[in-house]
Amino acid sequence: MDNMVDYIIETQDISRDFNGFRAVDGLSLQIKKGEVFGFLGPNGAGKTTAINMMVGLLKPTSGRVIIQGQDMDKFDKASIGVCPQELVLWEHLTCQESLKLIGDMYEVPKDVLKLRVDQLLEDLFLTDKANTLVKNLSGGMKRRLNLAMAVVHRPEIVVMDEPSEGLDPQSRQVLWKYILSLRDEGKTVILTTHLMDEADRLSDRVAIIDHGKLLKLDTPDNLKKEIGGGDIVEVTLSDASLNSKVIEKIKGKENVFSILEVDGIINLRALNAMGKLPQIIGDIEETGARMVDLSMRQNTLEDVFIDLTGTSLRE
């Protein structure tokens, strides 16, 4: 029984087909109570479909979803708050009215609701827009209001689909801070993203998804450790048609863990890359290729994805 307590959501081999296309393919995973759980993968990987099944907005074609030990259809939907990627807002209400309306729909007592609305406006930096009509808000403010509307009834599980999509850096910081504060209150947060830094900074655990399948699930640190130490060196040649020649030349050299072409750039992972740079540059020059750019960095979740799929997370 202990198991039931630890996991708030469990998916058992869920799949979803749309007209013969399999958007999610046999997904089995468990989400712990009080964690930020990130789905990382490129657009079209099945992330949105997966979370829609988890919260009961879509029925799986096969498999089952268990929430707090109960089958999905017996579960009280009010304990979930969903902040979708497409904004759902009433243009002709003010921020305050929008939040009150949702609170009333969930039957939050009036006195409690008033305090909660004020607090949410403050937390999401919308206090001075309390009486502004939604249609007059900036894009970033609309997204923050949409999040406030998803949590005004204090759900246990908060689901966010690509929360940072189209946000300016300032709004993104506000949002990230708020997501972490929800976790600190013991809420469970599930988010989808194709931004590696968002997945890395916010998630306690990350599920890496591609083509509807779960490729890996672990903490960001463990995932980055798993593809091994070493730094990433990215080399751009003036003539990308010479990439394969350079890759052949460097492949198999001592302590070079991997070298492949990603989006026209040579991506090389090596131990002590700094010390090897002269050697690498020498090898490149020997092939007759010319470098126009070279950069070095530590590995990221993006590199984990590249390691698993051979392609990058970019659109």
98-122 confidence digits (pLDDT tens): 999 999 999 999 999 999 999 999 9
Domain definitions of the chain by residue range = 2-224, 229-298
Q: Return the closest-CA partner of residue 195 out of 24, 54, 85, 315.
A: 315
CATH node for 229-298: 3.30.70.980
Stretch 270-281: mean pLDDT: 86
> How many degrees, rounded to 5, is the angle at CA 248 between CA 243 and CA 253?
120
Confidence tier at 4 by pLDDT (50, 70, 90): very low
Model-level pTM?
A: 0.86
How large is the average pLDDT for residues 255-261?
87
The CATH architecture of the domain made up of 2-224 is: 3-Layer(aba) Sandwich (3.40)
What is the helix (H) or strand (E) element at residue 284, kind and residue range? helix 273-286
Tell me the two tokens of residue 253. Answer: 């050299």
Residue with tokens 């001592």: 254
Q: HSE, CB side, 13 Å, CA atoms: give it for residue 197.
A: 6
